[in-house]
Amino acid sequence: MHQKDASDTEQSNVPFKQPVESIKPLINAHPRTHEQLSIPPKPARTIHSSRHIHIAPGYSTLDWEQLKRTSSSFPKAKKSLLYITLAELQLHNQINDAWIALNGKVYDITLYIPYHPGGEEIMKAVGKDGTKLLIHPWVNYECLLDKCWIGLLTYR
């Protein structure tokens, strides 16, 4: 019978054993300094100037929320629901009289236009159904425009 010695046990626990001398050339071929092993710095954010919109001071989303809380310029709550036809919606397509439909609800966004973070891009949907152009999953437009809601879009 064959007796196991210490070297047999050591080799049976290691599935693949390579002599250290054979990998030294690989290690020495690519020496690393301390800086190369540290976590790299985060890259600086790149802002594409063609897509960057500058909002005037006093027209941030926080400023809009404050205006909603303090201004009496918004439409008062109506006793009955207003139904707005597409023809009526199309009449309100100017910067000083701007209505928009989003998912079947009509909003008077005249006061909101200077606060829109996309700039005048919002004007492309004024007087129309802007659902496809302006609805983003990261924006709660119903909360943002709650004071601007004036009725429901109807196709009758």
CA distance 137 to 154: 25
Q: What is the pLDDT of residue 138?
A: 87
Q: Name the token pair of 137.
A: 């999953």
- Show me where the domains of the chain are located: 61-154
Q: How confident is the model at residue 132 (pLDDT cuts 50, 70, 90)?
A: very high
| Strand bridging mode 105-108 / 97-102 | antiparallel
CB count in 10 Å sphere of residue 11: 10
| pTM assigned to the model | 0.63
Over residues 4-31, the mean pLDDT reads: 56
Domain 61-154, CATH 3.10.120.10 — does that match?
yes
Over residues 111-119, the mean pLDDT reads: 88
| Closest to 84 in 3D by CA, of 125, 135, 128, 52 | 128
Over residues 102-111, the mean pLDDT reads: 94
The rounded percent of the chain whose pLDDT value lies above 90 is: 43
Q: For residue range 28-57, list pLDDT tens digits in order.
A: 655 555 555 555 555 444 444 455 567 788
